[in-house]
């Protein structure tokens, strides 16, 4: 197995007690064995909602629950999330990974697949039918006729009786869907039924030592920074553990919750429940309905098109915390190294470049998910009940980073809430001229023609990704309704023809003031609007923009500056990002977007223009790619960016 995670969690198993051990003593290591998990090995306990999915998947594969009853009906079980194009878990039962539970978006079903260890036991005990194949056994091999069976999934064995893989019955054919390369035999355990209390009893010392270390760390850090303490609480398990540790370390603290307007009702309920339990002051950074207003401008967000994070998260949090703690605060967060590769590489203490007045740290950076849950169970902390229903991650319910399986959970529990988003997706599907699968298979979760998007698109008949068409339609479908239809470059001059008048009378003055105070010369001659810099002359007239010369990167970036000013004059959602990170008195928000109140220096100019999500996301990721002819245009080296990460306080 190729290791890509810089840090991995390690879970041991006590074969006699049949329980996981998270922090064994050195002298006890010989009594246990390490569970073989896919990296990062961040397994968690199984909840009732998970078991419901698992049992349903097994019934679908085998037509009975014999496998479920034998493997998963007793004992303390774990789910370990593994890489998959949607969502998949390794299932640990009795100290062995016996199967995988995964979501099949084409059938819109949870599916189950045996591992070699699971297949070995199932074959020995006659739980699953088998098919004996002669000749080479390889994935996608088709055998006709299929064996007579009532099961959908079979164990494949060769003529010597060796287990070689799994097959699936499709009509009158048997298709080999999995071949086993790792033939790890199951480890024999006692098979005892263990409760949560059993697990807690034999992990008590390790958990207490872990908690003491984290609390001691927080106290030392507070002594160094001597700042008021805030805890960023999300309604999730990790921030709950971080809050409890911080409360035990300091006693007095305040709690901040970012209400993006996209939180599930149970999350909101849990936030108030937790603040009441600890008796701490709760501050809410509310985004209101800005997402629902902004989606008309930007279209659906994407993994690679995160305008939503700026308007619904960063701006509300930055605005609130700068008001509460203008001189800074020690911000406790529930971040863990095993959540993502990015977080695995994160330092223990950091400052977010957008919220530099907060010194952030995580007391659970090195904690595994299982350790967090055992701590919650041990101290009976008031965790979000959505976990019991099978929700794996909490936060914005329509986050494009979610798996389709997670969207199905939301749709099942909150049909009205998901229906609201579904209607918006359908409206944009029509605007973008996309097939029904664009919604069903979640293609909307990417803006660019990313490899993951292309992989899914290959399963759609008579469909190919046309990013130019999609970007153009996104701009036309936006409430801004301004898109380039024709782009011609000749004789060192760039000509762009748009679908409508580029500078409507309603924004002309706003654009004029902006460009002038951003350092450009502006002149008007009737309908002609001319913007000049040392390097470039840009002429706007009717539906067209002419750029001359057009050969250098400076010419391109001057054009992009003008386009950013124009597009945000049309589409400003009043998030305030343009004025939040610049000194007071430099700019103000109007109905047609921001206006500088004086000429801006280079540093202020960068924040004023580039912090805006219309500039940073809509223009850079949809408009500029159309002009430059590549969806990767936003990565260009010549792009003008914010000069420094040292923001104004």
Q: pLDDT by residue (tens digit) across 517-556?
A: 999 999 999 999 999 999 999 999 999 999 999 889 999 9
Mean pLDDT of 50-64: 98
The verdict on 578 and 502 lying in the same domain is yes
pLDDT in tens, 405-417: 999 999 999 999 9
Nearest in space to 523 (alpha carbons), one of 538, 534, 535, 545: 538
What pLDDT was estimated at residue 415? 98
Q: Which residues of 616-648 are buried (b: 16+ CB within 10 A; e: fewer)?
A: bbbbbbbbbbbbeeebebbebeeebebeeeebe
For residue 565, give every residue at least 6 positions away whose Cβ sits within 8 Å of its Cβ, in sequence order, or none. Answer: 511, 514, 515, 518, 609
SS in 3 state form for 509-567? HHHHHHHHHCCCEEEEECCEEEEECCCCEEEEECCEEEEECCCCHHHHHHHHHHHHHHH
- Is residue 210 included in any domain, yes or no? yes
Tell me, what CATH number does 228's domain have?
Answer: 3.40.50.620
- Is residue 333 included in any domain, yes or no? yes
The verdict on 191 and 212 lying in the same domain is no
| Helices and strands per DSSP (H, E), number in the chain | 23, 27
Mean pLDDT of 582-606: 94
User: Can you point out the beta strands (E) in 455-519?
Assistant: 484-490, 493-498
> Which of 158, 177, 196 is the last residue in one of the domains?
196
- Is residue 611 included in any domain, yes or no? yes
Token readout for 64 is 């009975």
- Three-state DSSP at 432 gives coil
The verdict on 437 and 356 lying in the same domain is no
Per-residue pLDDT at 4 exceeds 90 = no
Whats the size of the chain, residue-wise? 649
Question: What distances in angstroms separate CA 648 from CA 1, 356, 582, 644, one per listed residue?
Answer: 46, 9, 6, 10
> Which of 135, 164, 196 is the last residue in one of the domains?
196
> Which of 196, 231, 246 is the last residue in one of the domains?
196
- Is residue 470 included in any domain, yes or no? no
Pair 535, 555: CB distance under 8 Å? yes
- Is residue 5 included in any domain, yes or no? no
Pair 564, 614: CB distance under 8 Å? yes
* Residue 591: other Cβ atoms inside 10 A: 10
Domain range for residue 449?
Answer: 404-465
What are residue 93's phi and psi, to 5 degrees? -140, 135
Give the pLDDT band of residue 574 (cuts 50, 70, 90): very high
Pair 230, 331: CB distance under 8 Å? yes
Q: How far apart are CA 349 and CA 362, in angstroms?
A: 7
- Is residue 95 included in any domain, yes or no? yes
C-beta pairs of 501-506 under 8 Å, 24+ apart in sequence: 501/542, 501/543, 502/540, 502/542, 502/543, 502/544, 502/545, 502/566, 503/529, 503/540, 503/566, 504/570, 506/592
What pLDDT was estimated at residue 649? 32
Tell me, what CATH number does 87's domain have?
Answer: 3.10.400
The verdict on 146 and 284 lying in the same domain is no
The verdict on 286 and 316 lying in the same domain is yes
Token readout for 208 is 């207490």
96-104/109-114 β-pairing: antiparallel
What pLDDT was estimated at residue 642? 79
Give the pLDDT band of residue 340 (cuts 50, 70, 90): confident
Per-residue pLDDT at 5 exceeds 90 = no
Nearest in space to 338 (alpha carbons), one of 20, 38, 113: 38
Per-residue pLDDT at 648 exceeds 90 = no
Pair 156, 146: CB distance under 8 Å? no
- Is residue 3 included in any domain, yes or no? no
The verdict on 526 and 559 lying in the same domain is yes
* Residue 50: other Cβ atoms inside 10 A: 24
pLDDT in tens, 370-384: 999 999 999 999 999
The verdict on 89 and 182 lying in the same domain is yes
The verdict on 188 and 212 lying in the same domain is no
The whole-chain average pLDDT of the chain stands at 95
Question: What distances in angstroms separate CA 644 from CA 323, 353, 467, 607, 641, one per listed residue?
Answer: 23, 9, 32, 9, 9
Query: Which H or E run contains 616?
Result: none
587-590/544-548 β-pairing: unpaired
The verdict on 596 and 628 lying in the same domain is yes
- Three-state DSSP at 606 gives helix
Q: How far apart are CA 127 and CA 12, in angstroms?
A: 28
| Residue with token string 């303390």 | 76
Q: How far apart are CA 271 and CA 130, in angstroms?
A: 51
User: What percent of the chain lies above the pLDDT cut of 90?
Assistant: 93
Nearest in space to 256 (alpha carbons), one of 283, 219, 235, 274: 283
Within 13 Å of residue 47, how many CA atoms lie on the same side as its CB? 15
Per-residue pLDDT at 2 exceeds 60 = no
Give the pLDDT band of residue 628 (cuts 50, 70, 90): very high
Per-residue pLDDT at 593 exceeds 70 = yes
Provide the CA 339 distance to its chain's centre, in angstroms.
Answer: 11
Give the pLDDT band of residue 3 (cuts 50, 70, 90): low
Give the pLDDT band of residue 485 (cuts 50, 70, 90): very high
Running DSSP on this structure, what letter comes out for residue 492? Answer: T
Pair 614, 571: CB distance under 8 Å? yes
Within 13 Å of residue 516, how many CA atoms lie on the same side as its CB? 14
pLDDT in tens, 152-209: 999 999 999 999 999 999 999 999 999 999 898 999 999 999 999 999 999 999 999 9
The verdict on 520 and 618 lying in the same domain is yes
What pLDDT was estimated at residue 75? 87
Running DSSP on this structure, what letter comes out for residue 51? Answer: H
What pLDDT was estimated at residue 647? 38
Per-residue pLDDT at 41 exceeds 80 = yes
Q: How far apart are CA 98 and CA 68, in angstroms?
A: 11
Give the pLDDT band of residue 645 (cuts 50, 70, 90): very low
The verdict on 327 and 380 lying in the same domain is yes
Q: How far apart are CA 494 and CA 148, in angstroms?
A: 68
Mean pLDDT of 74-79: 92
Token readout for 111 is 């599916």
Nearest in space to 44 (alpha carbons), one of 150, 228, 199, 177: 199
Query: Higher-confidence residue: 492 or 643?
Result: 492
What pLDDT was estimated at residue 646? 43
* Residue 528: other Cβ atoms inside 10 A: 12
Domain tally, the chain: 4
What pLDDT was estimated at residue 518? 97
What pLDDT was estimated at residue 599? 96
Per-residue pLDDT at 23 exceeds 90 = yes
- Three-state DSSP at 508 gives helix
Q: How far apart are CA 51 and CA 469, in angstroms?
A: 44
- Is residue 307 included in any domain, yes or no? yes
**Preceding omega of 542 cis (within 30 degrees of 0):** no
* Residue 220: other Cβ atoms inside 10 A: 10
The verdict on 143 and 276 lying in the same domain is no
Token readout for 588 is 């103000």
Query: Which H or E run contains 201?
Result: helix 196-201
């Amino acid at each position: 197995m190729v290791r890509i995670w810089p840090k991995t969690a390690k879970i041991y198993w006590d074969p006699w007690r049949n329980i996981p051990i998270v922090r064994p003593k050195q002298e006890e290591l010989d009594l246990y064995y390490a569970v073989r998990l896919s990296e990062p090995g961040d397994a968690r306990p199984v909840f009732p909602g998970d078991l419901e999915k698992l049992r349903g998947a097994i019934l679908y594969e085998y037509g009975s629950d014999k496998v479920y009853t034998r493997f998963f009906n007793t004992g303390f079980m774990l789910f370990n999330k593994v890489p998959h194009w949607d969502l998949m878990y390794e299932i640990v039962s009795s100290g062995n990974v016996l199967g995988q539970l995964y979501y099949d978006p084409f059938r819109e079903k949870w599916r189950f697949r045996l591992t070699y260890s699971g297949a070995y036991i199932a074959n020995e005990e006659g739980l699953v039918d088998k098919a004996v194949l002669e000749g080479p056994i390889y994935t996608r091999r088709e055998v006709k006729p299929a064996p007579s069976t009532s099961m959908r999934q079979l164990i494949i064995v060769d003529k010597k009786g060796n287990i070689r893989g799994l097959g699936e019955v499709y009509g009158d054919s048997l298709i080999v869907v999995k071949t086993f390369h790792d033939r790890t035999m199951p480890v024999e355990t006692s098979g005892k039924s263990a409760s949560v209390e059993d697990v807690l009893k034999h992990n008590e010392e390790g958990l207490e030592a872990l908690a003491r270390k984290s609390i001691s760390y927080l106290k030392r850090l507070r002594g160094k920074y001597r700042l008021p303490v805030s805890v960023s609480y999300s309604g999730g398990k990790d921030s709950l553990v971080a809050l409890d540790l911080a409360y035990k370390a300091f006693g007095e603290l305040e709690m901040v919750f970012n209400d993006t307007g996209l939180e599930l009702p149970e999350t909101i309920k849990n936030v108030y429940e937790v603040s009441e339990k600890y008796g701490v002051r709760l501050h809410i950074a509310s985004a209101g309905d800005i997402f629902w207003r902004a989606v008309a401008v930007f279209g659906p967000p994407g993994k690679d098109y995160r305008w939503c994070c700026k308007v619904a998260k960063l701006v509300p949090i930055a605005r609130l915390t700068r008001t509460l703690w203008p001189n800074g605060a020690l911000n406790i967060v529930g971040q863990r190294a095993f959540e993502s590769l990015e977080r695995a590489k994160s330092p223990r203490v950091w400052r977010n470049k957008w919220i530099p007045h907060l010194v952030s740290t995580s007391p659970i950076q090195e904690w595994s998910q299982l350790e967090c849950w055992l701590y919650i169970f041990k101290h009976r902390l008031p965790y979000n009940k959505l976990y019991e229903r099978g929700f794996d991650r909490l936060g914005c319910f329509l986050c494009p980073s979610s798996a389709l399986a997670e969207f199905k959970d939301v749709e099942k529990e909150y049909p009205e809430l998901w229906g609201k988003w579904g209607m918006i997706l359908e409206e944009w599907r029509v605007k973008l001229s996309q097939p029904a699968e664009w919604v069903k298979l979640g293609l909307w979760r990417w803006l660019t023609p990313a490899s993951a998007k292309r992989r899914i698109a290959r399963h759609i008949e008579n469909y190919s990704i046309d990013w130019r068409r999609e970007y153009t339609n996104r701009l036309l479908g936006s409430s801004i309704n301004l898109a380039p239809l024709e782009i011609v470059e000749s004789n060192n001059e760039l000509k762009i023809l748009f679908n409508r008048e580029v500078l409507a009378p309603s924004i002309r003055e706003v654009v004029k003031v902006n460009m002038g105070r951003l350092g450009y010369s502006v002149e008007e001659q009737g309908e002609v609007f001319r913007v000049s810099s040392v390097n470039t002359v840009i002429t706007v007239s009717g539906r067209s923009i002419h750029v001359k010369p057009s050969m250098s990167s400076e010419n391109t970036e001057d054009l992009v500056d003008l386009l950013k000013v124009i597009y945000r004059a049309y589409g400003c959602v009043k998030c305030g990002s343009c004025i939040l990170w610049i000194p007071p008195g430099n700019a103000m928000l109007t109905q047609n977007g921001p206006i500088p109140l004086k000429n801006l220096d280079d540093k202020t100019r960068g924040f004023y223009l580039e912090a805006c999500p219309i500039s940073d996301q809509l223009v850079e990721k949809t408009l500029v790619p159309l002009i430059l002819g590549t969806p990767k245009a936003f990565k260009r080296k010549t792009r003008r960016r914010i000069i420094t990460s040292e923001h104004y306080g």
